[in-house]
Amino acid sequence: MKRLIIAIDCDDVLTPSSHAIVAHYNREYGTDVNVDKFYDRNPTQWGVKTLDEVYERIRLYFRSDRFQEEVHPFEEAIRAVHELAERHELHLVTGRSQTVDMVTNAMVNTYFKDVFLSIEHTGSVKLDDGTIIRRTKGEVCQAIAADILIDDNLDHARSVLDAGIKHVLLYGDYGWNKHEELTGAIRCREWGAVMKQIVVLEREAGR
């Protein structure tokens, strides 16, 4: 069987991050943010004037002990990812900024130790010369020669398809990803469906 290179998103694919973020945000700031509107770029629902303020508040939660206490990977994700690692090359490709890499690394070391060949951030990334850059998931998946991306975000899925990656598994049944059908992406509402689809792709790759 051909060993596939699989890129796997973190938030809302491995961990129920958005629901936890919104619950914390509403509790902390007295807002009534609807989790289905998590990726809505209008900051008024978040009770502030700019998205930068929203992002900073979310970063504070990410860096807090409370986030690590409240947000743990889906049990089915833990089982599935360990099973995939036995026969494929896995990379964690997250939209998180590198500024919260300690949180990401702690989660990986606890639940996915020695599973991912690399952890790739597409948010703010600091290069050796100090330059701060952002990368698309399409660029990252090209660089690691990924065969498959598993992600819940339509924009990330689109960038990967546009980069020439043939297989995107659009994960979950979320308010932010079910309003549009994306040609070339296969919907997988839960990890059981992901695993079944990967078996199909394994067979195709072995032909």
pLDDT of residue 139: 94
Strand partners, 148: 6, 167
Mean local confidence (pLDDT), 28-37: 95
- As a whole-number percent, the residues of the chain with pLDDT over 70 amount to 94
Give tens-digit pLDDT for 64-102. Answer: 999 999 999 999 999 999 999 999 999 999 988 877 888
Residue 131 predicted with pLDDT over 90: no
pLDDT of residue 130: 54
Residue 196 amino acid letter: K
- As a whole-number percent, the residues of the chain with pLDDT over 90 amount to 79
* Contact indicator for 91, 7 with CB cutoff of 8 Å: yes
Mean local confidence (pLDDT), 104-117: 96
Instruction: Kindly report the backbone phi and psi dihedral angles of residue 112, in degrees, each rounded to the nearest multiple of 5, phi listed first.
Output: -135, 40
Minimum mean pLDDT range among 81-90, 127-136, 139-148: 127-136
Instruction: Kindly report the backbone phi and psi dihedral angles of residue 201, in degrees, each rounded to the nearest multiple of 5, phi listed first.
Output: -70, -35
Residue 31 predicted with pLDDT over 80: yes
Q: Identify the residue with better confidence: 37 or 14.
A: 14
Structural domains in the chain? 5-16+73-205 (3.40.50.1000), 18-70 (no CATH)
* Contact indicator for 169, 197 with CB cutoff of 8 Å: yes
Mean local confidence (pLDDT), 181-204: 95
pLDDT band at 180 (very low <50, low <70, confident <90, very high): confident
Please give the C-alpha separations between residue 179 and each of 108, 154, 159, 168, in angstroms, as whole numbers.
31, 10, 18, 17
Buried b (16+ CB within 10 A) or exposed e, 143-176: ebebbbbbbbbbebbbbbbebebebbbbbbebeb
Instruction: Kindly report the backbone phi and psi dihedral angles of residue 47, in degrees, each rounded to the nearest multiple of 5, phi listed first.
Output: 75, 20
Mean local confidence (pLDDT), 112-118: 97
**Mean pLDDT computed over every residue of the chain:** 92
